Structure 1
Amino acid sequence: MVENPVGKVALLGVPFDDNSSFERGAALAPNKIRDVLNHGSLNGATELGVNLRESKQWLDAGDVDISSSDNFIDKIEQRCDQLLAQNTRLLTLGGDHSISYPILKSYRKFFDKITILHIDAHSDLYDSFKGNRYSNACPFARVMEDGLCDRLVQVGIRTLNLHQNEQIEKFKVESLEMRHWPLAQPLVFQHPVYLSLDIDGIDPAFAPGVSHREPGGLTSREVIHLIHQINTPLVGADIVEFNPNKDIDNMTAQLAAKLVKEVAGKMLMGL
């Protein structure tokens, strides 16, 4: 288990969307986001004062090569194991949300205590969806079954049905629905945090490039504020479900790149 601060934060791409329950396209996101980060209008500075382009602790670890959906869990978990064992924390770009499960399988080997902050329009707690237990609608059911975190806090949720409410009760998930927004008090964490950020947690007015547009979501600023306000070390993150095929004038690509910067900056400050 990791006890001492680690030395680096790596951007890791997972161009995989075989478990998308609606429309494909999220596999195109890692390259699109990298293109905006490296060749777009953004500079390297984050709002918290970290300059990614000047940091020797920030690197790009390339993409996970997944040959088929049959081995996606093993491939992702093994690559995460390799990097975490080298004292490198991960900011992973999906891809669909199914990738979070193998990432967290790896993280649990290295962290005794971990809290997941999950920003999403959907709870992703289905036991199975369309016959697929590894659908992008199911990763947090698998996470909770396997005991991969000590606490799961979900923000932005606005699509709950009876089954999902039953799963929330079963797994003792803290589901903070958008109908109760804003939060009565800031989130407070006791353990290191892993952030799983589904782009459709943000309102489609800000992020139209998603497969599941769900009006009534968070603003870009509200999500950035949630990231900045994390009060314990942010030790890992994934940004998932951006679908470039659905984007309008690169609006979502620009937002995803901005979120990468702010998440990376927050992670680097905790090293």
Structure 2
Amino acid sequence: MTDTLTSGDVALMGVPLDMHSSFLQGPAFAPGRIREALHSGAANLTAEDGTDLGSHPGFKDTGDLDVFEQFGPEAIAKIEVGAAERLATGARLLSLGGDHSVAYPLISAHADRYEGLNVLHIDSHPDLYDEQPLGKLGHGCPFARVMETGKIKRLVQVGIRTMNAHQREQADRFGVEVVDMRSWSADYTPEFDGPVYLSLDLDALDPAFAPGVSHHEPGGLSTREVIDLIARFKGQLVGADIVELNPHRDPYGMTAMVAAKFVKEIGARLLTR
């Protein structure tokens, strides 16, 4: 579904993969749930800056990749190819996971397209494990894989509150800039020189705001703080993902609606700046 994309468009793409999750499956069903919330009669498609994704000709849903219940390198390769095909049109890509393992191929495709790519990673977990019991492609490993490519200029992680000794060593090894919740302030404004990819794990939010995730980690960001961070950071946003919604744990679709809100705010920034 890439034949309608042109330069300057924003392509929405679902990545329904959760077989790399270490704890629970469920995020593979997230793209559909987020779309349901996005088009729900309970809300509209207008972002806070006034951009109406529903009427904007440049916002285009390109469907889901065929990775449901797939696992391992072949699934990862499919995601990278699907992303690269959309980026080759000149469109910008907003992806809906899926577990966080999908960030590795998505960011790799963007790094091939945009030299000197920076990554802003919002999460409760640093996801820097060298390996998990299910292998090196687990959803706790994508940023180790990304940094091993040598194509990332800066990786800035915000919202972290689960940093263990191994992941601290990995952060030091790769020169990751970590803003954990102990040092977070609501006026924090990251600044980047060059293109920026945003990877947003919904468990960055406190469970009070986003209960529909596999890993509940208290002490996190509020929905408003994340919205403000999306709007405020300095740099040219060129792509993004929203991951780790688990509909099986989402009462009344609350977290799906939060994810839909982020789609509108990120989509508007991709279209207008």
Query: Which 5+ residue runs of structure 2 have no aligned equivalent?
Result: 1-5
Provide the C-alpha distance between the structure 1 equivalents of 2:57 and 2:19, rounded to a whole number of angstroms. 34
Give the corresponding residue for 2:58.
Answer: 57
Report the Cα offset of residue 75 of structure 1. Answer: 0.5
Whether 1:173 and 2:180 are equivalent positions in the alignment is no
Provide the C-alpha distance between the structure 2 equivalents of 1:38 and 1:186, rounded to a whole number of angstroms. 31
Which string of whole-angstrom CA distances, capped at 9 and with x for unpartnered residues, describes residues 158-205 of structure 1?
001100100010000001000112167421111111000000000000
Give the corresponding residue for 2:19.
Answer: 18
Give matches, 1:99-248, under 5 Å: 99-182=102-185, 185-248=188-251
Report the Cα offset of residue 208 of structure 1. Answer: 0.2
Give the corresponding residue for 2:71.
Answer: 69
Report the Cα offset of residue 131 of structure 1. Answer: 4.3
The residue matched to 1:180 in structure 2 has which SS?
coil
The CA RMSD measured in Å over matched residues stands at: 1.3
Identity among equivalent positions (%) equals 50
Which string of whole-angstrom CA distances, capped at 9 and with x for unpartnered residues, describes residues 226-264 of structure 1?
000022221100000000000111110110100110010
Provide the C-alpha distance between the structure 2 equivalents of 1:64 and 1:184, rounded to a whole number of angstroms. 37
Provide the C-alpha distance between the structure 2 equivalents of 1:146 and 1:45, rounded to a whole number of angstroms. 37
Which string of whole-angstrom CA distances, capped at 9 and with x for unpartnered residues, describes residues 15-51 of structure 1?
1100001011000100000011113412111001211
Give matches, 1:77-92, under 5 Å: 77-92=80-95
Provide the C-alpha distance between the structure 1 equivalents of 2:58 and 2:187, rounded to a whole number of angstroms. 36
Asked if structure 1 preserves the Cα contact closer than 8 Å seen for 2:12 and 2:95, the reply is yes
Read off the aligned partner of 1:61 and give its amino acid letter: T
TM-score (norm 2): 0.95
Provide the C-alpha distance between the structure 2 equivalents of 1:211 and 1:185, rounded to a whole number of angstroms. 27
Provide the C-alpha distance between the structure 2 equivalents of 1:171 and 1:149, rounded to a whole number of angstroms. 10
Give the corresponding residue for 1:251.
Answer: 254
Give the corresponding residue for 2:39.
Answer: 38
Provide the C-alpha distance between the structure 1 equivalents of 2:188 and 2:135, rounded to a whole number of angstroms. 37
Read off the aligned partner of 2:34 and give its amino acid letter: I
Distance 1:213 1:7, change over 3 A: same
Asked if structure 2 preserves the Cα contact closer than 8 Å seen for 1:104 and 1:148, the reply is no
Asked if structure 1 preserves the Cα contact closer than 8 Å seen for 2:28 and 2:98, the reply is yes
Report the Cα offset of residue 86 of structure 1. Answer: 0.7
Tell me the matched-pair count: 266
Which string of whole-angstrom CA distances, capped at 9 and with x for unpartnered residues, describes residues 38-96 of structure 1?
13412111001211011111000100102621311111011111110011111000000
Report the Cα offset of residue 148 of structure 1. Answer: 3.3
Provide the C-alpha distance between the structure 2 equivalents of 1:139 and 1:262, rounded to a whole number of angstroms. 24
Whether 1:93 and 2:96 are equivalent positions in the alignment is yes
The residue matched to 1:54 in structure 2 has which SS?
coil
Read off the aligned partner of 2:272 and give its amino acid letter: M
Deviates more, 1:130-139 or 1:169-178: 130-139
TM-score (norm 1): 0.95
Asked if structure 2 preserves the Cα contact closer than 8 Å seen for 1:100 and 1:238, the reply is yes
